[in-house]
Amino acid sequence: MTDGKSPILSVRHLSKAFGSTAVLADVNLDVPRGSIIALLGASGSGKTTLLQALAGLVSPDAGSITIDGRDMGGVPAHDRPVNMMFQSYALFPHLTVSGNVSYGLSARGTPRAEREHLVAWALELVRLEGLGARRPDQLSGGQRQRVALARCLVMKPAVLLLDEPMAALDRRLRADVQKELKSIQRKVGATFVLVTHDQDEAMAMADFIAVMEKGRIVQFGPPREVYERPNSTFVASFLGTINLFAGVARAEEPSRVRLAADDGLEVVAERSASSGANPICAIGVRPEKVLVARQPTGLANDFAGAIEQVSYGGTASDVTVRLAGGRSLEATVANSTASAAAALQAGDAVHVGFPAPAGIVFSE
Ligand SMILES: Nc1ncnc2c1ncn2[C@@H]1O[C@H](COP(=O)(O)OP(=O)(O)O)[C@@H](O)[C@H]1O
Ligand SMILES: [Mg+2]
């Protein structure tokens, strides 16, 4: 899981309740050194509370946190080798950019010459050199975010904690800022733990995604694994769109699962090594794995239907196909050739299909 790198951050059996509500329930996590991990979950799933527990701003009821080989039990926030970039940035409005960035160093007692050197380094890193004398209200949202980032990086934390770092940014800016943040992380080699409720952001930025639900980490892995091999229908639906066939597994074949779906369809998928102990309850397929054709597809799963809706999306179009039994199937058709989706129209009789390996087998 960690590519042989020792984890810089380990969480064991961490629990926290506010009143009678369990907000963190037996959280276990290993973060490889020098990686970006995303805590991804819906609002209220406990992401911020976990981040604050790492920072020492929330004291857990049970469990342990180890950072850089040191047990954090009883270690106050200001003595932890972490820095937190808050969702609101929390810049000091009366201080200049340089003043904001050097604040933590001053508090730490770093000598002036070294402070100036480090502030210049951090401002160059976030491409704000020359703006050191400005005040936060003379900056754009994107620039304010970079000041907040510089203020953290200048402290050279072992782990940088970022709570929804893109939340205050214009949607159009986000993709660029995500790439830039990742490139800065690679440059300084720090470990980032990033909280987000945005699955696209988690996939674009993270080396590992920890999916949270109701205070638990329900899956942990690289983006590709979490997306391609979700371990539950919850994770599958949280990360993108999935067509689910709920039902009962029928024939016991060694390498394949044959499922009788609730609406009478038969669906075939490859049995995965990681199928859980629970009985199989569904087979799923991602829309981009579904082929739409005028004739039978010849694939292990093939259904006749009619196009209900085509929504054009530039790089690809989302096609909804209503099958004979009444169920709809979502397919994503790449617009890589001019003719690809242009030809498909609502009302057209089509076949949809997918090969057995494209099917994901669920037992929860
Ligand atoms: N200080 C607090 N007192 C009481 N309840 C809290 C407190 N902080 C968070 N909660 C509750 O804990 C749950 C998780 O919150 P949070 O960690 O902020 O989730 P997320 O960041 O994933 O949205 C929510 O139901 C929230 O209302
Ligand atoms: Mg939060």
At 274 the pLDDT is 57
Counting ligands in written order, the one closest to the CA of 50 is 1
Q: Are 360 and 236 in contact (CB under 8 A)?
A: yes
Atom of ligand 1 nearest to the CA of 42: 22
CB 43 near ligand 1, within 6 Å = yes
Atom of ligand 1 nearest to the CA of 46: 17
Atom of ligand 1 nearest to the CA of 19: 4
Q: Cα–chain-centroid distance for residue 71? A: 27
Using DSSP bridges, classify how beta strands 7-18 and 62-67 pair: parallel, antiparallel or unpaired: antiparallel
β-strand partners of 60: none
Minimal-distance CA residue to ligand 1 atom 25:
44
**Distance set, CA 191 to CA 2, 97, 181, 352 (Å):** 13, 24, 12, 44
Compute the distance from residue 279 Cα to the ligand 2 centre, in Å: 35
Compute the distance from residue 39 Cα to the ligand 1 centre, in Å: 14
CA distance 258 to 235: 22
Minimal-distance CA residue to ligand 1 atom 13:
44
Is pLDDT above 50 for 2? no
Q: Are 75 and 151 in contact (CB under 8 A)?
A: no
CATH topology of domain 7-233: Rossmann fold (3.40.50)
pLDDT tens profile 174-198: 888 899 999 999 999 999 999 999 9
For 286, phi then psi, to 5°, come to -75, 145
Atom of ligand 1 nearest to the CA of 58: 1
Counting ligands in written order, the one closest to the CA of 162 is 2
CA distance 288 to 281: 22
At 255 the pLDDT is 86
Minimal-distance CA residue to ligand 1 atom 3:
18
Minimal-distance CA residue to ligand 1 atom 12:
23
Q: Are 54 and 224 in contact (CB under 8 A)?
A: no
| Ligand 1 probe mutation, 15, 21, 23, most atoms within 8 A of CB | 23
Minimal-distance CA residue to ligand 1 atom 9:
49
Q: Where are the alpha helices (DSSP H) in 127-280?
A: 141-153, 171-188, 199-205, 223-228, 233-238
Give 319's pLDDT tier (boundaries 50, 70, 90): very high
**Distance set, CA 95 to CA 92, 116, 127, 132, 179 (Å):** 6, 15, 19, 10, 28
**Distance set, CA 83 to CA 108, 122, 209 (Å):** 13, 14, 20
Compute the distance from residue 204 Cα to the ligand 1 centre, in Å: 26
| Ligand 1 probe mutation, 40, 43, 47, 49, most atoms within 8 A of CB | 49
CA distance 45 to 258: 34
Q: Which amino acid makes up residue 7? A: P
State the DSSP code for 214. Answer: T
- When pLDDT is averaged across residues 30-41 and rounded to a whole number, the result is 97
Is pLDDT above 70 for 270? yes
**Residues 95, 98, 104: CA angle, nearest 5 degrees:** 80
CB 18 near ligand 1, within 6 Å = yes
At 88 the pLDDT is 85
**Distance set, CA 36 to CA 132, 178, 209 (Å):** 28, 12, 9
Find the helix packing angle between 171-188 and 112-125, rounded to 10°.
130
Q: Which amino acid makes up residue 345? A: Q
Sequence-separated (6 or more) residues with CB below 8 Å from residue 332:
287, 288, 290, 316, 317, 318, 319
Is pLDDT above 70 for 250? yes
Percent of the chain with pLDDT over 70: 95
For 222, phi then psi, to 5°, come to -60, 155
Q: Which amino acid makes up residue 46? A: G
CB 48 near ligand 1, within 6 Å = yes
Is pLDDT above 90 for 170? no
Counting ligands in written order, the one closest to the CA of 16 is 1
Minimal-distance CA residue to ligand 1 atom 5:
18
β-strand partners of 18: 21
Give the right CATH number for 241-362 from 3.40.47.10, 2.40.50.100, 1.20.120.790, 3.30.1300.10: 2.40.50.100
Is pLDDT above 90 for 152? yes
| Ligand 1 probe mutation, 14, 15, 18, most atoms within 8 A of CB | 18
With a threshold of 0.75, does the pTM exceed it? yes
List the domain boundaries for the chain: 7-233, 241-362
Q: Cα–chain-centroid distance for residue 137? A: 31
State the DSSP code for 30. Answer: E
Is pLDDT above 90 for 331? yes
Using DSSP bridges, classify how beta strands 216-221 and 62-67 pair: parallel, antiparallel or unpaired: unpaired
Atom of ligand 1 nearest to the CA of 43: 23
CA distance 89 to 208: 24
Which residues neighbour ligand 2 (ion) by CB within 5 Å?
Answer: 48
At 1 the pLDDT is 43
CA distance 308 to 320: 5
CB 52 near ligand 1, within 6 Å = no
CA distance 299 to 19: 54
Burial 1-21 (b: 16+ CB within 10 A, else e): eeeeeebbbbbeebbbeeeee
Q: What is the mean pLDDT of the chain?
A: 92
Give 251's pLDDT tier (boundaries 50, 70, 90): low
